[in-house]
Chain A
């Protein structure tokens, strides 16, 4: 598969604190990549760098390179970047009562010039995207009044209208119940576009991502398939918790269990789980 995104020696230092250090990885077209790691590992910061949202100031130094289709990201203007990356942020709370259609329509902004007028074709695109995420009936509903899962789907519909080649999701399953966690990730997987997302739930990441990036203290500790990345030793070190690894009997993906119990007690934990 063609390489779509290259990250080389990416470092970000803010207020004399290393946020990201020497990050290198490639992203191929159509890959679904999960970034995992403890709080403060630099997952969201990495996403912000990828979407060019970090400003270089006196207190914020950014170095290294990001190449999008073999061209350095800083050679793209903001509109071009918005045509390539669509971001679904961790928390979106509009202050006023915007409708679902109002929000999805925003995805057209990078593709319109200042003087263009909304056409019937735009309306069709919005409706089509809403149908794709299963919310074709909800275009006039108020965004605030939807459930967390429905709100995430609206934002994914906006990303679809944005026609981005790479979908960036920051904790898409946060605050969602089990049904919506699986529903959203299944939906994301079915879109057949490149997806880079941060995920707190390692088992969900293992089940839905082809590739995982494990981060710790601003560094990329491991990059590979869930089977390569999710090892007891690595996870115990990064999360500072004893951990146990099993193969999920249904999905056959690695399944991780953490416990505060001492490593010597692992056998008992395993026994408990098996019982």
Chain B
């Protein structure tokens, strides 16, 4: 408890520092006092005001809630499936979103609705991600083995990726490029409205988890043990899966593919704070949010006059992180 009362305030401070840093980085040079004045509503000029409120604030806030959401989804999936490798992306969410985005690009670009692509693409990605999750749950239900959700997810993921690649192979090169870049993940297109949507779902998910955290903890000892404590295992798992699907699908729809956050952050939190659901989810939210803000800072500032897709950085960091874990586990064995 003492450890927790020290770490949580520390993580809140780190999150605030990350938010400030996120606002300070960018192509337009601004002093800290200029940024502060704009935030408190006393901007010296219109251009600074526009850059802060229409570019940097939405981007930093979306990075915060997207990082929070992906880390929470990973933490919940890992605890409810009792699988430390569970991640929203392994449940076919990214491949479903990819298929949705591909279909939107191919079908809508050539139609009179072409100009509506900026709405159609995230919407189709969201529907695609939900479609993938529904298929995964149906397969697991048909097999009457909810514990095999992850295997069903991997199978569906490969199937939908194959379908996407097939469509892209025969698609128009410009549309194909757009889908591929979208799948790499980026926060350059986000708006403040995206923040409101993602933040609402993150808050809703957090509230439900705070209410049900003991029931989710009971799953950590196995389904039979949880059922003996009066927990309705199947319903709880389905509810959590639905929440994680809605959360990840919304984030993927606005930000594209950002892998490894849901897998990596809960692993760090378990070492730092603890394994029970409430500690894990609050820790994951705080660390995940800060992590994605910093990754976005790297994406914006690593190359001059160019931006690296954020998904490339998270995947590279994620794989290095897992190699580090493997080496550490081997050394301590």
Contacts and interface: CB of A to CB of B under 8 A. Distances in A.
B220 A94 contact: yes
Please list the 3 inter-chain residue pairs (A to B) with the smallest Cβ-Cβ separation, ordered nearest first.
A82-B230, A87-B228, A96-B275
B222 A89 contact: yes
Contacts of A162: 229
Contacts of A69: none
B243 interface: no
Contacts of A57: 144
Contacts of B212: 114
B232 A78 contact: yes
What range describes how many residues of A lie at the interface? 20 to 34
A53 B224 CA distance: 8
A79 B228 contact: no
Nearest to A52: B227
B188 interface: no
A103 B276 CA distance: 10
A87 B225 contact: yes
B231 interface: yes
A89 B211 CA distance: 27
Q: Which of B214, B228, B232, B270 has the most CB of A within 10 A?
A: B228
A59 to B, nearest CB: 9
A245 interface: no
Interface in B224-278: 224-225, 227-232, 270, 275-276
Interface stretch (A20-28, A105-113, A188-196, A263-271): A105-113
A102 interface: yes
Interface string A125-159: 00000000000000000000000000000000000
B221 A82 contact: no
A86 interface: yes
A178 interface: no
B217 A102 contact: yes
A78 B227 contact: yes
A93 B224 CA distance: 12
Nearest to A82: B230
Given A85-B228, A109-B214, A162-B229, A97 B221 contact: no
B211 A114 contact: yes
B217 A110 contact: no
B275 A106 contact: no
A3 interface: no
B26 interface: no
Q: Which of B82, B83, B144, B221 has the most CB of A within 10 A?
A: B221
B102 interface: no
A51 interface: yes
Contacts of B228: 51, 53, 82, 85-87, 89, 168
A81 B38 CA distance: 60
